[in-house]
Amino acid sequence: MPGVISDKERLWQVVSEAVDRTPVTDMHTHLYAPAFGCLGLWGVDHLLTYHYLIAETMRQTSLSYEDFRALDRKAMAEHVWRTLFVEHSPYSEACRGVLTTLGRLGMDVSSRDLSTYRKWYEGLTYRRFVDLVFSVAKVKTAVMTNDPFDPEERELWLKKGDELKKDPRFRSSLRIDPLLYDWKNQYRVLRELGYDVGPEFSPGNRRTVEETLRFLVDWGRRMDALYLAASFPPDFDYPSNSTASDLLDHCVLEACSRLNIPFAMMIGVKRRVNPSLGLAGDMVGRARVEAVERICARHPDRRFFVTMLSRENQHELTVLARKFRNLMVFGCWWFLNNPSLVEEITEMRCEMLGTAFIPQHSDARVLDQLIYKWDHSRRVIARVLYRKYETLFDTGWRLTTNEIERDVSDLLDRNFWNFVKGM
């Protein structure tokens, strides 16, 4: 066969090069296209005040939560830098990520000079920086998390509409957590937008059901959403006697059907176990994989992206994906996005699902993070894939360069798009 790989040294070279250069579709981020203006976060001060680093800082400082929150962003960043990078060695994953990012952008991280890093960004615009970051990270598409329940973002969609969708590198997903878990407050948003819903959601109230469904379909089309999405607490159950379960059955999954898109479920987050930390105060909890089993079984014609936050859920979820072709497991979410866990989880998925999963997403909130999150993940994915191909090599099976490049492209790009399209 042309291009056949005949030794393991060459095998490693082909695998590592394929993983390194294959353009990625990052299927879940919290980034924004340039048209969203100030919603897009970037720069070293935002990198340093990422909530992962805030949580680490508060373990190492005598400063109170209240005094830290009272600082402006620049002062916060300086305090984080001094605490985590000067007074202690920055080998946590979040700290290393800052250094990887700065280094890949051409800065000298050995200088330890925050003022120099800040100066590097001077004169850059967000639009120009998007071009640079996407090039360095080799990301071709980033799927945004778009929330119509956020007043600032909602106003942008209503005023600017199609302008927000002009950059093909950024695609939308429709996030609906508030609808599922805060109906008593969020129904007012629907009413303000012209949807005739009541203060109580009940399947028996056909007008509220129909108007909620119309809202989801309208906003899915307005955003050209690739999928609907929500995060769920560890005790999420389905079906259950809850507003969230009723909304899923009577509105959300029907909206997905009418829009012909999947529903993404991110399960296992305990919100605000320490409210003093803000976003950094969320926690992980073991969830009920049976809820995913039942929703996939009851809706075989719907497609579900699923990721779970607890390490303890990963094996069961992977086994479940072998049983339901309408379930696509994706990413190592949030507290699992550490190299040791990414490696363990990715290897298990390879052994049980072959190439039929999506190994990673960045979950980036700051544009710069695309660089380190994909740099670090690519290294782990390459190691895992090499070991899997090595086991094939030991059986006598020989691979070609094209076959490896095909597999890598499936994992980092095509699996997502094929599932969105229902292929």
Q: Which residues pair with 265 in a beta bridge?
A: 230, 306
pLDDT of residue 80: 98
pLDDT of residue 132: 98
pLDDT of residue 193: 97
Contact 190, 214 (CB under 8 A): no
The average pLDDT across 45-68 equals: 97
CA 302 – CA 163 distance, rounded (Å): 30
Identify residue 125 by its one-letter amino acid code: T
Q: Which residues pair with 327 in a beta bridge?
A: 304
Share of residues in the chain with pLDDT > 70 (%): 100
Sign of torsion over alpha carbons 376, 382, 385, 386: negative
The CB-side HSE value for 364 (13 A sphere, CA atoms) comes to: 34
> Which one, of 86, 169, 90, lies nearest residue 132 by Cα?
169
Q: What b-and-e string marks burial along 73-107, b requiring 16 or more CB atoms within 10 Å of the CB?
A: eeebbbbbbebbbeeeebeebbbebbbbbbebbeb
Instruction: With respect to residue 81, please indicate whether it lies within any of the assigned structural domains.
Output: no
Q: How confident is the model at residue 96 (pLDDT cuts 50, 70, 90)?
A: very high
Quote the radius of gyration of the chain (alpha carbons, Å).
22
pLDDT of residue 138: 98
Q: Note down the domain range covering 394.
A: 8-36+139-421
Please say if the pLDDT value at position 423 is more than 90. no
Please say if the pLDDT value at position 371 is more than 80. yes
The average pLDDT across 93-99 equals: 98
Instruction: With respect to residue 298, please indicate whether it lies within any of the assigned structural domains.
Output: yes
pLDDT of residue 415: 98
pLDDT of residue 319: 98
Please say if the pLDDT value at position 2 is more than 80. no
Share of residues in the chain with pLDDT > 90 (%): 98
Instruction: With respect to residue 103, please indicate whether it lies within any of the assigned structural domains.
Output: no
Residue 109, token pair as written in the block: 């991280």
Other CB atoms closer than 10 Å to residue 185's CB: what's the count?
Answer: 10
Instruction: With respect to residue 82, please indicate whether it lies within any of the assigned structural domains.
Output: no
pLDDT tens figures, 125-139: 999 999 999 999 999
For position 30, which CATH number holds?
3.20.20.140
Instruction: With respect to residue 357, please indicate whether it lies within any of the assigned structural domains.
Output: yes
What mean pLDDT is reported for the chain? 97
Instruction: With respect to residue 125, please indicate whether it lies within any of the assigned structural domains.
Output: no
pLDDT tens figures, 213-244: 999 999 999 999 999 999 999 999 999 999 99
| Residue 308 vs residues 93, 273, 337, 410: alpha-carbon distances, Å | 20, 18, 12, 22
CA 89 – CA 86 distance, rounded (Å): 7
The average pLDDT across 172-199 equals: 97
pLDDT tens figures, 320-362: 999 999 999 999 999 999 999 999 999 999 999 999 999 999 9
Instruction: With respect to residue 290, please indicate whether it lies within any of the assigned structural domains.
Output: yes
Say how many domains are in the chain.
1
Instruction: With respect to residue 91, please indicate whether it lies within any of the assigned structural domains.
Output: no
CA 406 – CA 412 distance, rounded (Å): 10
- 99 vs 278 pLDDT, higher one: 99
pLDDT of residue 1: 65
Sign of torsion over alpha carbons 162, 164, 170, 176: negative
